[in-house]
Amino acid sequence: MYEILIIRNGEVSIKGMNRHVFESSLIKNLRYRLYEFKDLKISKGDGRIYIYLNGENHLDVIEKAKNVFGVVSISPAIKTDAGYENLKTGIRNLMEESLVNSSNTTFKITVKRQDKSFPMKSPEMNQDIGGYILNEFKDRVSVEVVNPQINMVAELKKNENIIYFEKIKGVGGMPLGSNGKACVLLSGGIDSPVASYLISRRGLYLEAVHFHSFPFTSDKSKEKVMDLAKILSRHTGKIRIHMVNLLEIQKEISEKCPEELMTILSRRFMMSIAERIALEEECNSLVTGESIGQVASQTAEGLLATNNAVETLPVLRPLIAYDKEDIIKLAKEIDTFETSIIPEEDCCTVFLPKRPATKPRLEKILKAEELLDKEALIKKAIEVKEIEIVG
């Protein structure tokens, strides 16, 4: 029955002179996500995006489209020929369809008079069509203007009419690629996949760096990260993962530096390596899953120490003020939680100090780092990295 899907794009519509750029990104992403539906046609107009179904199943298309970043809501709609009588008939037909197996349903009519040449104003049409619907369906419906079960919306246009009553929630955010590309430090834990999802939802493509300590960590640990990236790619598109072995760096730190600084020094190396990879891949920021106070290295002093290792790019921390319960809730919503809690070792558990420094002084860290050939260690780690592509 439905012929059109109306896509509302939220904050994209307030982007002023740059609006067309964001709309074009969203249309491109919708076409990519809906490629299997060969007969669809996608266009924009009236501050919205329209998907013309051309016989495709509207439920299948909605299920895919609602998870595209930038889609705030979707309304399946019918259209009729222009004219007021055609509008009334269309509303009646859609109401009849919506009332199948229903009784005692409350409704409201909302007519938007886009054709200002039509003599009746919207309130008059609301009353007229509301009375018509009451008469047509008699004891099955009643009017409720505050919180109706069905709010039938009809747009009276010069060339056609569009009618709908559902508004299906989309994932929101900004269209992928509209804000560039970020490099995320992706682990096998709960936090970094959630941070990756959130930053991608703001319109950034993802490049990922994963640190491991093979053979101290197993291949299963790397496979777990690949599985997480595959889940994320349902939302983010393709993700390229740079697999970096941190073991030699950790050995050097363990042999030459104070034990309590192992975690923070390892983290500084990760940030430095990730920044160089990010710059090579033309990323405009680094992204981590850190939440302040969650672990020993994520105190304000620890974050200062890791930030200091980054020379050029901003470090984005989408989860910085999240409680763990909130992170877990979102991980479950995006289907990464069950994979994240599979027990596999990671590089952060290798050489874990008994008493990690929680309030490290930057001058002490920098002095300890002088004991290492930092540049050589970073270059070697990057030279032998592996790249995997998922999605």
CB 195 within 8 A of CB 321: no
> Is residue 30 part of an annotated ligand binding site?
no
Cis peptide bond N-terminal to 76, omega within 30: no
Which distant-in-sequence residues (6+ apart) come within 8 Å of 159 by Cβ?
82
Asked if residues 1 and 97 have their Cβ atoms less than 8 Å apart, the reply is yes
Q: Is 210 annotated as a binding residue?
A: yes
Contacts within 8 Å (CB) and 24+ apart, 218-224 = 218/344, 218/345, 220/344, 221/188, 221/344, 221/345, 221/346, 224/188, 224/339, 224/342, 224/344
Q: Is 269 annotated as belonging to a binding site?
A: no
CB 283 within 8 A of CB 317: no
Tell me the residue length of the chain.
391
Q: Which amino acid is at 204?
A: L
Strands 168-169 and 73-81: antiparallel
> Does residue 185 have a known ligand-binding role?
yes
246 has binding-site annotation:
no
N-to-C CA span, the chain: 34
User: Alpha helices, DSSP H only, in the chain?
Assistant: 19-33, 58-65, 84-98, 122-137, 191-200, 219-236, 247-256, 262-280, 300-307, 324-333, 337-340, 362-369, 374-383
Residue 70 assigned ligand-binding role: no
Ligand-binding annotation for 294, yes or no, is no
- Residue numbers in the known binding site are 185-186, 210-211, 267, 289, 298
- Residue numbers in the known binding site for ATP are 185-186, 210-211, 267, 289, 298
